[in-house]
């Protein structure tokens, strides 16, 4: 079978490479006493070149898959294997102009 995977969604996936990279570094840190899970990042569009560069530079790309999708769409959740993820996280975009819209 596949190893456990984490699903990561939210505004930060689309717009905040520093937040995503910091989160991935914590999730993959060996001191937690477990093997790092595979990570599916789901965002509304392709990742920014900055995010791809940061992930590759820190050698986190071997853990990550990026899917363009929306978590409210069943087909996107199926592609992300949401029903079998061992962890799910919502990373809010803390720099959003309208926090109420970000919370939706």
* Closest to 65 in 3D by CA, of 78, 80, 86: 80
Q: Please report the pLDDT score of residue 56 as a whole number.
A: 92
pLDDT tens digits in sequence order for the chain, 104 residues long: 567 799 999 888 877 788 899 999 988 876 555 678 899 999 988 888 999 999 999 888 888 999 999 999 999 999 999 999 999 999 987 775 665 555 55
Distance CA 74, CA 67 (A): 14
pTM of the model: 0.83
Q: What pLDDT is attached to residue 96? A: 59
Q: How far is Cα 85 from Cα 38, in angstroms, rounded to an integer?
A: 10
Q: Which helix (H) or strand (E) holds 90?
A: strand 87-90
Write down the pLDDT at residue 14.
Answer: 79
CA angle 80, 65, 84 (to 5 degrees): 30
């Amino acid at each position: 079978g596949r190893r456990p995977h984490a699903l990561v969604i939210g505004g930060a996936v689309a717009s905040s490479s520093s937040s995503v990279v910091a989160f991935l570094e914590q999730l993959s840190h060996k001191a937690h006493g477990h093997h790092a899970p595979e990570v599916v990042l789901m965002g509304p569009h392709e990742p920014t070149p900055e995010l791809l560069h940061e992930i590759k530079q820190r050698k986190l790309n071997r853990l990550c898959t990026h899917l363009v999708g929306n978590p409210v769409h069943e087909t996107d959740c199926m592609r992300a294997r949401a029903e079998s993820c061992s962890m799910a996280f919502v990373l809010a975009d803390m720099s959003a102009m309208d926090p109420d819209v970000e919370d939706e």
